[in-house]
């Protein structure tokens, strides 16, 4: 499908031969992972197609937007406030990479001993296989981990300072950072952020979060009509596709999920223990742990990650009508994100407890990307809290490569046996 866009990809400097290799690798792992799903909703077709469109049709849309004079920025992490970018008519394009194919290409500039998310993203840029490399007017990163901070310095990106604590003075710093971001996007596009436009983008992004919440609500049911792998794909697509098209795709999925519930249709062929995936995100291209878990007979019914609940849990307060009030409301919403970069990160513990209750979780799989020290160390706090609740947990520290898949499956299968024996007792 992506071949249709080869002329465009070539024009924007993509190395077509390497890009074919990247897409072949990703498609192979997408096919393998989703072939393991017992009973997928028909409406997932849009999300499967969006995986390919992210390197084809979506690229053409962004290209067209820029040809018409529009501005766009690459963004890292879920701290960059999309509401403000959109209100300044700047299109945000999240750039986090999820493919193992590109990680070695990052060696040109970065050490191997850093998180695969960073290596994958920059590997795509350095191998000229990222179609968005030339389709942006700037890149905005944040200070959530040391590897990213230092990478932004090397690459001379704009940086938003995410505080590391959650006191009042940290909130003030973050609100100032959000205001500086507003000025940055206004300078880029020459479009002032005015209350009417900001109000509209707040509502739009809140609606997006609400449809994601609605889809995830179905996962609370005893027989979830959507699998964890499919819910992950929805979250991954949320980060790339046109907002309105994405929400239409979600509405179609929600309608089908309602019908499935009425007809008693489950996404799973057999009953299995219900697990929560907690920890680091799984951007598009990375389905490994979800595949290993669900193909081992467990049901992933919630994701406590930035490609899960952490992305859509909190809405922006729509009450303020004045510009300053709206900016504060946006800043406060993003300040609630419970990334492991915060010290202490007590909110996260409370959030995990709440998910366990709401989603009737039998066990927790902590999925930590290699070299992500924040989540890896914090895993001990989560593990201790879970032990106190009597909830078994399994910690997986892994990268994007599929080399350890069989090893992971052995560990996950014994975890499933443990959960099954507890459920049977």
Only one of the segments 143-151, 228-236, 318-326, 386-394 lies at the binding site for ligand SF4 (rule: CB under 6 A); that segment is: 143-151
The count of chain residues that interact with ligand SF4, using the rule CB under 6 A, is 19
Sole binder of ligand SF4 in the list 117, 178, 237, 238 (CB under 6 A)? 117
- Which one, 103 or 267, has the nearer CB to ligand SF4? 103
CB 75 within 8 A of CB 92: yes
Sole binder of ligand SF4 in the list 81, 94, 285, 374 (CB under 6 A)? 374
- Which one, 272 or 283, has the nearer CB to ligand SF4? 283
- DSSP β-ladder status, 138-142 and 71-75: parallel
Sole binder of ligand SF4 in the list 92, 281, 285, 308 (CB under 6 A)? 281
- Which one, 81 or 281, has the nearer CB to ligand SF4? 281
- Which one, 78 or 103, has the nearer CB to ligand SF4? 78
Helix (H) or strand (E) holding 214: helix 195-217
Q: 312-336 burial by CB neighbour count: b if 16+ within 10 A, else e? A: bbbbbeeebeebeebbbbbbbbbbe
For residues 162, 166, 170, 174, the Cα torsion angle rounded to the nearest 10 degrees is 40
Instruction: Work out how close the CB of 185 gets to ligand SF4 at its nearest, in angstroms, rounded to a whole number.
Output: 19
Radius of gyration of the chain (CA): 21
Structure tokens at 4: 């249709």
Q: Is the bond preceding 198 in cis, omega lying within 30 degrees of 0?
A: no
Sole binder of ligand SF4 in the list 144, 282, 295, 366 (CB under 6 A)? 144
CB 83 within 8 A of CB 202: yes
DSSP one-letter code for 97: -
Q: Does 238 bind ligand SF4 (CB under 6 A)?
A: no
Residues 6 or more apart in contact with residue 392 via CB below 8 angstroms: 362, 363, 364, 386, 415, 418, 419, 422
Q: Does 118 bind ligand SF4 (CB under 6 A)?
A: yes
Q: Does 163 bind ligand SF4 (CB under 6 A)?
A: no
Q: How many Å apart are CA 317 and CA 200, to the nearest integer? A: 13
Q: Does 148 bind ligand SF4 (CB under 6 A)?
A: yes
Give the largest Cα separation in the chain, rounded: 65
Instruction: Work out how close the CB of 376 gets to ligand SF4 at its nearest, in angstroms, rounded to a whole number.
Output: 9
Helix (H) or strand (E) holding 139: strand 138-142
Instruction: Work out how close the CB of 166 gets to ligand SF4 at its nearest, in angstroms, rounded to a whole number.
Output: 14
Only one of the segments 151-159, 205-213, 371-379, 383-391 lies at the binding site for ligand SF4 (rule: CB under 6 A); that segment is: 371-379
- Which one, 144 or 241, has the nearer CB to ligand SF4? 144
Q: Does 123 bind ligand SF4 (CB under 6 A)?
A: no
Instruction: Work out how close the CB of 144 gets to ligand SF4 at its nearest, in angstroms, rounded to a whole number.
Output: 3
Helix (H) or strand (E) holding 182: helix 168-189
Give the x/- contact pattern for ligand SF4 in 321-340, rule: CB under 6 A: ----------------x-x-
Interaction site with ligand SF4 (CB under 6 A)? 77-78, 115, 117-118, 144-145, 147-148, 280-281, 306, 337, 339, 341, 369, 372, 374-375
């Amino acid at each position: 499908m992506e071949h249709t866009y080869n002329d465009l990809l070539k024009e924007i400097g993509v190395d077509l031969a390497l890009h074919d290799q990247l897409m072949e690798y990703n498609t192979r792992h997408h096919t393998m992972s989703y072939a393991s799903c017992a009973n997928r909703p028909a409406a997932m077709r849009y999300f499967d197609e969006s995986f390919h469109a992210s390197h084809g049709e979506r690229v053409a849309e962004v290209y067209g937007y820029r040809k018409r004079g529009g501005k766009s920025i690459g963004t890292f992490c879920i701290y960059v406030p999309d509401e403000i970018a959109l209100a300044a008519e700047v299109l945000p394009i999240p750039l986090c990479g999820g493919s193992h194919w590109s990680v070695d290409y990052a060696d040109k500039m970065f050490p191997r001993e850093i998180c695969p998310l960073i290596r994958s993203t920059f590997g795509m840029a350095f191998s000229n296989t990222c179609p968005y490399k030339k389709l942006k007017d700037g890149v905005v990163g944040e200070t959530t981990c040391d590897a990213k901070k230092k990478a932004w310095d090397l690459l001379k990106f704009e940086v938003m300072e995410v505080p590391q604590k959650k006191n009042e003075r940290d909130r003030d710093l973050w609100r100032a950072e959000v205001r500086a971001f507003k000025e940055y996007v206004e300078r880029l596009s020459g479009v002032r952020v005015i209350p009417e436009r900001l109000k509209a983008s707040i509502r739009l992004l809140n609606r997006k979060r609400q449809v994601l919440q609605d889809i995830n609500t179905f996962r609370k049911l005893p027989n979830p009509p959507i699998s964890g792998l499919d819910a992950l794909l929805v979250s991954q697509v949320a980060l790339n596709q046109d907002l309105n098209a994405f929400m239409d795709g979600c509405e179609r999925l929600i309608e089908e999920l309602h019908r499935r519930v009425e007809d008693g249709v489950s996404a799973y062929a057999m009953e299995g223990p219900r697990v929560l995936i907690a920890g680091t995100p799984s951007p598009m291209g990375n389905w490994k742990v979800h595949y290993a878990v669900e193909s081992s007979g467990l049901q992933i019914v919630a994701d406590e990650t930035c490609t899960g609940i952490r992305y859509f849990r909190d809405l922006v307060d729509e009450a303020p009508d004045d510009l300053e009030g709206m900016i504060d409301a946006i800043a406060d919403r993003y300040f609630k994100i419970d990334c492991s970069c915060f010290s202490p990160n007590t909110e996260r513990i409370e959030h995990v407890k709440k998910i366990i209750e709401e989603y009737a979780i039998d066990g927790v799989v902590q999925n930590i990307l290699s070299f992500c020290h924040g989540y890896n160390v914090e895993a001990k706090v989560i593990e201790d809290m879970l032990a106190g609740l009597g909830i078994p947990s399994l910690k997986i520290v892994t990268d994007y490569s599929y080399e350890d898949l069989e090893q992971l499956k052995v560990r996950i299968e014994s975890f499933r046996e443990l959960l099954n024996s507890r459920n049977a007792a």
